[in-house]
Every structure is written in structure tokens, then in C-alpha cells.
Amino acid sequence: MRMLVLITALFFSISHAEILFTDDFNDGNDDGWIHIGAASYEVINGEYFIYNQGDRGQGKSTNGDASGTMSTSDYSVLCSIVIECGSEGGLFVRYGGVDQWYYRVVMKPYSSRILLERRNDSGPTMVLDQYDISIYFDVRYWIRLQADGDSICARIWQGSAADEPDVWHLEDVDSIQQEAGCFGVFAGGYGKISWSCVFDDVVVSTPLEQHLSQVTWASIKAAGD
């Protein structure tokens, strides 16, 4: 029922978007999700936990609407996230493997910002954009990451899925990775601190209609200069 209410709310705010994939973890498992990295992956009370007890590293979990990969390279991923502890957590899209470029939005509680990155797990990471915001532990946020052609955008908010803002807080034009790949969620930490993120209500759709993204964070910043 919760996922039905969520999807209904999304259709009110995202007209004409086609839902491609959903998972609210109310079935008590993460069947279909592929684990990458030294982490524990567990569904508890209808929420998806990725955590590690103090080893440096990262845990990813990937999925897609076509046997674990995405059927289209243009899609928009929404989920809720709670960072319980650790250095980072977030979403990624167009992931094709450790030696391939992909895009991710990264919440950084210790540096009070979120980053839009193009990353290669076996090579460099390029920051495409950043947005200063206080990220608190044990607080639920909603994040959306969208890849539409060479447009890569993200935003973050609190409240409910229906409270989604019209502005993109992060955006860039980048054409390096155009393959569909898969989407996923991740958590990570550095040093010997424990890290844990909780994810829920994952919804993947076709990209949001253009009229919803005409007002962007970049345009707001430019207007204030």
C-alpha cells in the first residue's frame, strides 16, 4: 500500500513519466539486487540496509528493469535515504562495471554538501557539480538522480516524495557514458569508522518532463550574481 501511495503521489508531481521499476522492500528481501563490495546487505522491517562494521570501503547494490540492467539509457531514479553513520551514501546510474564511467550523486555529511560525480572505480573521479547543504545523521532525505541524454541532474529534499522541488540542485552536461548500464544505491566510509545507510521506496521512471526542470539551481544562482 505504501508503494501504491508513493507512485500515485509521483504521478501527480511527474506527469507523463512511465514507471520502469519499483521496490519498497516490504517483501522482506532484496531479490534481484546484485551486491558489489565488502558490506552487509540486509532488509529489516521493509527497509534496505547497507553497512560495515568499521572497514574502509564501499558497498553497492545494483538493479534494473531488464534482468538487472536498464532497458534504456535515459531514466530517473528516486529513493529515500538515511545515513546512520559513515562518510557517504547515495545513488548511481549507467553503471557498467569497475572499469567503466558512471554517474552518481553523493551525500557527504562531514563536509555538508552533496556532489554530482562522474566516476570510474578503477580510475579517477570527476566532480561535475556540488551543492552545499547540511546533512544530518539519522534523518530521512529523498534524492533523485536523472540521466537524460547528456544531461545529468540531481536534487535532494526532506518531507515526502510528494514534496519534491522543481529545481535541480546539481546539474551538468556530460556525454562520456551513454550506455544504459544499471542503477544502484551505495554506502561507504573511510578509516576505521562504521558506516551504514538505509534505503527505501526506490522508483525508476522515464526522465521527468522538461517543463518541470526549466527552473534550475544554476539559473537561480546566475540570477543572483
DSSP type of residue 12? H
**Cα 196 from Cα 89, distance rounded (Å):** 8
Q: 2-6, 110-114, 121-125, 132-136: lowest mean pLDDT where?
A: 2-6
Long-range contacts of 51-54 (CB under 8 A, 24+ apart): 51/84, 51/187, 51/194, 51/195, 51/196, 51/197, 52/187, 52/189, 52/194, 52/195, 52/196, 53/194, 54/189, 54/192, 54/193, 54/194
Is the whole model's pTM more than 0.85, yes or no?
yes
Residue 9 has pLDDT above 80, yes or no: no
Average pLDDT value for residue range 204-213: 72
**Helix-then-strand count for the chain, H and E:** 2, 15
Q: Is 121 exposed, middle or buried (0-12, 13-18, 19+ CB in 10 A)?
A: middle
Q: Tell me which fold the domain 2-224 belongs to.
A: Jelly Rolls (2.60.120)
List the domain boundaries for the chain: 2-224
Alpha-carbon gap, residue 96 to 104, rounded angstroms: 13
Lowest mean pLDDT among 4-13, 108-117, 130-139: 4-13
Reduce the DSSP state of residue 137 to 3 states and report it. Answer: coil
DSSP code of residue 74: -
Per-residue confidence (pLDDT) for residue 63, from 0 to 100: 98
Q: Region 179-201: what's the mean pLDDT? A: 93
Question: What is the pLDDT at residue 209?
Answer: 73
pLDDT of residue 1: 42
Do residues 167 and 215 make contact, with C-beta atoms less than 8 angstroms apart? Answer: yes
CA distances from 217 to 26, 144, 222 (A): 35, 14, 9
3-state secondary structure of 6: helix
> Between these two residues, 6 and 24, which has the higher pLDDT value?
24
CB 107 within 8 A of CB 90: yes
Task: Return the number of other C-beta atoms located less than 10 Å from residue 36's C-beta.
Answer: 17
DSSP character string of 155-214:
EEESS-GGG--SS-SEEEE--S--S--EEEEEEEE-TT--EEEEEEEEEEESPPPGGGGS
- In this prediction, residue 16 carries a pLDDT of 65
pLDDT at 8: 45
29 to 21, 108, 213: CA distances (angstroms): 16, 28, 35
Residues for the chain: how many in total? 225
Bridge-based pairing state of the strands 57-63 and 125-132? unpaired
Band of pLDDT at residue 6, cut at 50, 70 and 90: low
Q: For 61-78, write each residue's pLDDT tens digit.
A: 999 999 999 999 999 999
Q: Do residues 154 and 105 lie in contact, with contact meaning Cβ atoms separated by under 8 Å?
A: yes
- Among 57-61, 188-192, 201-205, where is mean pLDDT lowest? 188-192
Q: How confident is the prediction for the chain on average, in pLDDT?
A: 88
In the chain, pLDDT over 70 holds for what percent of residues?
A: 84
Q: Report pLDDT digits (tens) over 128-184.
A: 999 999 999 999 999 999 999 999 999 999 999 999 999 999 999 999 999 999 999
